[in-house]
């Protein structure tokens, strides 16, 4: 934030993201940040993040309230826009990713929607990698187009020239997923950051699967990071949530993003870049304009539960990864398994790229195809005892899903093929139980195929 700026209401967000934690947590490792970033109690305050279960905040004077609405005074106005409990978890997530600020949303989809719409209008277009999460493909290929935003899909196998030819004067951003759900394709962040920056475009990365424990995309040139916190960050399948994190480096003043520079009529002429500084302009606008108008905030209770999950994220990711590695090895040697996709396996096509971006591990999700196609997959899944059939991934309990029949059901056969999802694909989310128990469950179910 600019020192001499007059406007300063970031609603407990960006500027304090590093500030409060700086002295104690400067240079701290990711595990320490998981446990300790965010809520910093002062003398005599509760040790644990309090739940401020309040929609509103009391002020002494009408002037004070007026200043809040003009964004000239720092403080919370209304929980749709910000809340003290939620703000502390935003600080933790910003610290984990190494960003300047974060905005928590009611779900991962809400985060993606706000993140994209923050810098796009009807008539604009974006470039997105084809292999992203099925829900994101629906949003991009159908719903955004309905509102006049064209999404142009590329695949990583295309050349830079081919992909750059899709961009034009109305292109606003490039979008990819660090590790795609469910294909587990590793996104070449450095390549696409360079490609995007050649056209003065920011690179948006959905970092849900590796989490900042295994990959921090800002370090590789990404500009905005998005999470479905519903997955590993919460980690217990208890609360939906999403996060947008601002890397603080992209130059919004480059001439292509007037909505961040030009006066915002809905705030009597605030300019986000001028009044809040380039490093937090994006995330402040997302909060005070789009979160205000769309209303998809994370609730204080959900933020509290998410924070509990985050406190053990580093431990759980380690266990998810070591369990998944052993299960992937077991599956790859099994006669009833046709193919296994887990970039941790040395002969996986994504292994080289994985070592570049996530040398310490990827995630607990494995995709594989059982012999016998769709029927084989169904017999396998219906025979599992410990692993549950759920429409979810990335929590403490081992679970399975058949993407073509569930999460990606709305995709056409062609879209399925393009996303690399055969009908018999099983997406296995390896939990943090004892690995021998997960393995014996899988073996007995494969016996029944």
CB-nearer residue toward ligand PLP: 82 or 178: 178
Please, what is the minimum distance in Å from the beta carbon of residue 359 to ligand PLP? 21
Among residues 309 and 376, whose Cβ is nearest to ligand PLP?
Answer: 309
Q: Looking at beta carbons only, is 87 or 240 nearer to ligand PLP? A: 240
Rounded CA separation 434/22 (Å): 38
Contact 130, 155 (CB under 8 A): yes
**How would you class 296 by CB atoms within 10 Å of its CB: exposed for 0-12, middle for 13-18, buried for 19 or more?**
middle
Residue 301 C-beta: closest distance to ligand PLP, Å: 16
Task: Please say which residue, 10 or 207, places its beta carbon nearer to ligand PLP.
Answer: 207
CB of 319 to ligand PLP, least distance (A): 19
Residues contributing to the site for ligand PLP (CB under 6 A)? 107-109, 133, 135-136, 177, 181, 206, 208, 228, 230-231, 240, 242
The phi and psi torsions of 101 (rounded to 5 degrees) equal 180, 160
User: Which one, 235 or 376, has the nearer CB to ligand PLP?
Assistant: 235
- Shortest reach from residue 402's CB to ligand PLP, in Å: 16
Buried b (16+ CB within 10 A) or exposed e, 4-27: eeebbbbbbbbbbbbebbeeebee
Q: Write down the least CB distance from residue 109 to ligand PLP, Å.
A: 4
Q: Both tokens of residue 340?
A: 């296994």
Closer residue to ligand PLP (CB): 9 or 230:
230
How near is the Cβ of 392 to ligand PLP at its closest, in Å?
Answer: 8
User: Residue 176: which residues within 8 A CB-CB, separation 6 or more?
Assistant: 128, 129, 132, 187, 189, 192, 203, 204, 205, 206
DSSP summary character for residue 264: B
Structure tokens at 180: 């795609």
The answer to whether the peptide bond before residue 182 is cis (omega within 30 degrees of 0) is yes
Cα–Cα dist 259/261, whole Å: 6
Considering beta carbons, is residue 137 or 331 the nearer one to ligand PLP? Answer: 137
Whole-angstrom distance, CA of residue 97 vs CA of residue 37: 11
Residue nearest to ligand PLP (CB): 108
> Could you tell me which of 411, 384, 444 has the C-alpha nearest to residue 182?
411
Least distance in angstroms from the C-beta of 391 to ligand PLP: 9
């Amino acid at each position: 934030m600019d020192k001499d700026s007059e406007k300063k209401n970031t609603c407990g967000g960006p500027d304090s993201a590093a500030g409060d934690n700086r002295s104690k947590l400067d240079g701290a490792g990711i595990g320490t940040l998981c446990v300790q970033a965010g809520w910093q109690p002062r003398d005599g305050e509760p040790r644990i993040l309090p739940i401020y279960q309040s929609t509103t905040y009391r002020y002494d004077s009408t002037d004070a309230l007026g200043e809040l609405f003009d964004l000239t005074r720092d403080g919370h106005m209304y929980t749709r826009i910000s809340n003290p409990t939620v703000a502390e978890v935003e600080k933790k997530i910003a610290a984990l990713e190494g960003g300047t600020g974060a905005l928590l949303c009611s779900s991962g989809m809400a985060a993606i929607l706000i993140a994209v719409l923050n810098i796009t209008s009807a008539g604009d277009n974006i470039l997105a990698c084809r292999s992203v999460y099925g829900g994101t493909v629906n949003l991009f290929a159908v719903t955004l187009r309905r509102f006049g935003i064209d999404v142009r899909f590329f695949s990583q196998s295309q050349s830079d020239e081919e992909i750059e030819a899709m961009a034009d004067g109305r292109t606003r951003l490039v979008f990819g997923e660090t590790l795609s759900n469910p294909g587990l394709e590793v996104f070449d962040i450095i390549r696409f950051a360079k490609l995007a920056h050649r056209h003065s475009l920011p690179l948006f990365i959905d970092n849900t699967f590796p989490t900042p424990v295994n990959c921090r995309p800002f370090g590789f040139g990404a500009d905005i990071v998005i999470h479905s916190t519903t997955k590993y960050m919460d980690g217990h399948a208890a609360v939906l949530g999403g996060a947008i994190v601002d890397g603080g480096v992209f130059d919004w003043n480059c001439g292509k993003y007037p909505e961040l520079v030009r006066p915002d009529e809905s705030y009597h002429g605030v300019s986000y870049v001028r009044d809040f500084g380039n490093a937090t302009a994006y995330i402040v606008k997302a909060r005070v304009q789009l979160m205000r108008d769309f209303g998809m905030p994370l609730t204080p209770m959900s933020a509290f539960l998410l924070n509990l999950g985050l406190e053990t994220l580093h431990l759980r990711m380690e266990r998810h990864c070591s369990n998944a590695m052993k299960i992937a090895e077991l599956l790859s040697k099994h006669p009833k398994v046709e193919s296994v996709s887990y970039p941790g396996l040395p002969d996986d096509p994504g292994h080289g790229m994985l070592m570049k971006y996530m040398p310490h591990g990827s995630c607990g999700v494995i995709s594989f195809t059982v012999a016998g196609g769709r029927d084989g997959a169904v017999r396998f899944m219906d025979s599992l005892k410990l692993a549950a059939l759920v429409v979810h991934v990335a929590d403490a309990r081992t679970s399975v899903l058949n993407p073509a029949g569930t999460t990606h059901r709305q995709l056409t056969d062609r879209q399925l093929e393009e996303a690399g999802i055969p009908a018999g694909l099983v997406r296995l989310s390896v939990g943090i139980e004892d690995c021998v128990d997960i393995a014996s469950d899988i073996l007995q179910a494969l016996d029944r195929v």
